[in-house]
Amino acid sequence: MKTKPITYLAAALALAVAGSSCDHDEIYEPLDFAVRLAPTNTYRVGEPVVFNFEGNADYITFWSGDVGHEYRYRDRTTVAIENIESCELSFGLAQAYGQTDTDTRYCDILVTDQFAGLSGSDATADGALVAAIDDQYTGWTEIPYENLSNRTSLANVPKVNYTYDITPYAGNFCLALHFHHGENQNMRSFAFNNLRITVQFDGYDPAEYTFDDLSFVSYSTIEQHADNPYVHNVSGDGYVKLAGESGSNSAGEIVYQGYNWSNHSYVSDQWLFLQPMALNAISPDTGQSIKGVTDDVKSYSYTYDKPGTYTATFLVGTGNYQGESGIQAYEVTFTVIDPIE
């Protein structure tokens, strides 16, 4: 039988619709259901585990008990940070122009889980949040990168690839880039490419976020941008530019276009904030609908691909012209062992 993913709530709704379609309030048939494992089943990896049904259930939803299909996690939307196997931030970075003194740092790369994020529309409130970030970046962690020597063009310099463990910040991850320099200093250009966040949960496929999945808010503290501190992707030097928007720079997904101090009358102090995101978020586990009111299902088989002890759950109910019952859950616990070599 072809099955399809369905949550326990969907099963309940289907049962309610069926019950309301006929006038049978005075008729009620108690649910009679039992599930038993086939006595000859060996319960080995790669071989079907057969579940036999008895009774009058009209609807059956099956939760296999393996990863992603555990009934107990049907409402889970996050996992504990300690259950994350790895959480990594990676990107390629190219630098160009700027001072020849490589001890000068023109971009600080910061991470935290303590930042609420900018609204992107309330300049007064957002300005207060930015101003509260002190010179020591209290509450933030500055992550290292190689401060390269002076180059002449972003288009001609190779990018350096970096990967960082950001697991401690996964509950409310925020990345900030702070572009700044001093008087009489030429501002360096930066191009960030292949920005990626990869989260590995125990037993699940990795969750991966690329630049297109991320949302950023820019904020400039310089007086020239007081009327629009969110300015970005503006033609010319001295602005943050984001890919996918008009005025972006093909050199990278995030580009800060530096400039020659002699051609500008201000000291740059610009920020780019990733909107905070929960990297420990996970989709609720799902079940499969294996029987509807018109189906005749006496048994169901499921093959497990890993050894272990499983608790399979069957969410069942009745809802036909004879009456309807409440939905009830039945569990069967068993052990699947390695196959015979």
Q: Do 13 and 140 have their domain in common? A: no
- Which domain range does residue 24 map to? 4-77+286-336
pLDDT band at 19 (very low <50, low <70, confident <90, very high): very low
Confirm whether pTM is higher than 0.85: no
**What is the DSSP secondary-structure string of 286-327?**
-EEEEE-TT---SEEEEE-SS-EEEEEEEEEE-EETTEE---
Neighbour count for residue 263 (Cβ, 10 Å): 9
pLDDT level of residue 156 (50, 70, 90 thresholds): confident
What would the two tokens of residue 302 be?
Answer: 């499921």
Q: What is the pLDDT of residues 40-49, one digit of tens each?
A: 777 999 999 9
On whether the CB atoms of residues 2 and 306 are closer than 8 A, the answer is no
Residues 255 and 211 in one domain: yes
Residue where a domain stops, chosen among 274, 307, 328: 274
What is the average pLDDT value for the chain, to the nearest integer? 87
Residues 268 and 153 in one domain: yes
- Which stretch of 143-152, 163-172, 244-253, 285-294 has the lowest confidence by average pLDDT? 143-152
Q: What is the mean pLDDT of residues 62-68?
A: 95
Tokens of 286: 């799902």
Q: Residues 295, 321: one domain?
A: yes
pLDDT at 137 exceeding the cut of 60:
yes
Within a domain: 280: no
Same domain, 231 and 268: yes
For residue 313, give the nearest of 293, 288, 295 by alpha carbon.
Answer: 288
> Is residue 341 in some structural domain?
no
Domain count, the chain: 2
The reply to whether 279 falls in a domain is no
**CATH code of residue 305:** 2.60.40.10
